[in-house]
Each structure stands twice: as structure tokens, then as C-alpha cells.
């Protein structure tokens, strides 16, 4: 019997803004709308219920040339330590926030469900912030690579949102 090895995705970024602003990018719906989704995607919905036990609903809208439906996710929070650490589980949802099978949205059958995320924030001097995002439990290399590219593009957009402010 072959066992499946899960691997965790870890991306570190240093932003040229104080930790409070990076924290705000995750906790404020208007700010989430500026960066959620890969390059070319928009985020028309970011209904935040930012509290332990709460679940935010966010939407990625693909560019018209990509086609495809809006893709909704929930972020269900298990731990929130302001300006230090955020833990949540990302899952696929419909526009009302109900769980849906990602295959029904045109995603591959091996798309992970209930992806645990841990985001840490640390001031590193001169008004800069180190943020580490960890996504746990990928068992498919193709999805790992796709998720890594998407996360890096989201964080590029986050960095741009700080420059635009």
C-alpha cells in the first residue's frame, strides 16, 4: 500500500509597512478586496466575520477571458491573536457561504478541502513587517504548485495595495 505524503506550503514576505497595516489587510473586507485572488482576478465580495469561531466569505472573480464562475471561499477562524497570529480553515462555498464540492465549480477532483492556514506577523524594524503564510496538507504536486503561484500573486497584490494607500 502506498501512503500519501502531505506537504505544507510556506511563503514568507517582508512588507515596508508596520504590522498593524498588514494585519488590517487580513481583517478588513475593503482591504481584502484589493488583494484576494491571483493576478487578473478581482474580489467583489469580502464579507468578514473576523472573530474566533467566525467565518468570512470571500469571492475570486476570474477575468472574462478565463471564463468560469465566481469562486467563493470561507475562512473559518480558530485563533486570532491581534497583530501576531491568525489561524483559519479555507473551504469552498457557494455565494451564501454553504460548503460545496470544488469539482462542481470546475476544479480538479483532487482539490483539497478544509485547508488549514496559519499566518504570522512580526515587526522586523524600520516599520517593516515579516509575514509568513503556511497552508497545510497538500497531497498533489500540481495543486501545491498552483496554490503557491496563486498565493504569491495574492501577496504581490497585497504589497501593491500598501503602496497605493
* Assigned domain for 1 exists: no
Cα(49)–Cα(27) distance, rounded to whole angstroms? 9
Would you say residue 2 lies in a domain?
A: no
Is residue 116 included in any domain, yes or no?
yes
Task: Identify the bridge partners of residue 138 per DSSP, sorted by sequence position.
Answer: 7
Would residue 50 count as lying in a domain? yes
What is each CA distance from 125 to 62, 83, 86, 101, in whole angstroms? 37, 15, 21, 43
The pLDDT assigned to 69 comes to 87
Res. 37: pLDDT tops 60: yes
What pLDDT score was predicted for residue 109?
Answer: 79
- DSSP structural state of residue 27: H
Domain containing residue 100: CATH number? 3.30.530.20
Model confidence at 3, pLDDT cuts 50, 70, 90, reads low
Tell me the three cell numbers of residue 59.
Answer: 469571492
Provide the pLDDT for residue 14: 98
Q: Is a pLDDT exceeding 70 seen at residue 87?
A: yes
Across 129-155, b (16+ Cβ under 10 Å) vs e yields: bbbebebbebebeebbeebeeebebbb
Residues facing 122 on adjacent strands = 130
pLDDT at 2: 58
What confidence tier does 91 reach under pLDDT thresholds 50, 70, 90?
very high
The whole-angstrom separation of Cα 161 and Cα 158 is 5
Give pLDDT tens digits for 129-160. 999 999 999 988 988 999 999 999 999 999 99
* DSSP conformation class of 131: E
Q: What is the pTM of this model?
A: 0.93
The answer to the question of residue 27 being in a domain is yes
Number of domains in the chain: 1
Domain extent at residue 159: 7-164
Residue 65 lies in a domain: yes
Is 104 domain-assigned? yes
Please give the pLDDT value at position 34.
97
* The 3-state secondary structure of 66-101, one letter per residue: CCCCCEEEEEEEEEEECCCEEEEEEEEECCCCCECC
Q: What is the pLDDT at residue 106?
A: 79
In a domain, 129, yes or no: yes
Amino acid at each position: 500500500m502506498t501512503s500519501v505524503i502531505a506537504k505544507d506550503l510556506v511563503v514568507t514576505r517582508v512588507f515596508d509597512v508596520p504590522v498593524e497595516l498588514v494585519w488590517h489587510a487580513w481583517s478588513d473586507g475593503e482591504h481584502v478586496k484589493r488583494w484576494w485572488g491571483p493576478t487578473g482576478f478581482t474580489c467583489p465580495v469580502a464579507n468578514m466575520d473576523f472573530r474566533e469561531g467566525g467565518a468570512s466569505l470571500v469571492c475570486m472573480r476570474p477575468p472574462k477571458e478565463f471564463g468560469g464562475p465566481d469562486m467563493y471561499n470561507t475562512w473559518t477562524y480558530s485563533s486570532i491573536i491581534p497583530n501576531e497570529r491568525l489561524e483559519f480553515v479555507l473551504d469552498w462555498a457557494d455565494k451564501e457561504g454553504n460548503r460545496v464540492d470544488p469539482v462542481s465549480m470546475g476544479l480538479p477532483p483532487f482539490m483539497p478541502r478544509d485547508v488549514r492556514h496559519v499566518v504570522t506577523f512580526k515587526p522586523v524594524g524600520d516599520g517593516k513587517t515579516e509575514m509568513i503564510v503556511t497552508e497545510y496538507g497538500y497531497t498533489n504536486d500540481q495543486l501545491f504548485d498552483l496554490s503557491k503561484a496563486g498565493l504569491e500573486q495574492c501577496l504581490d497584490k497585497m504589497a501593491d495595495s500598501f503602496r497605493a494607500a
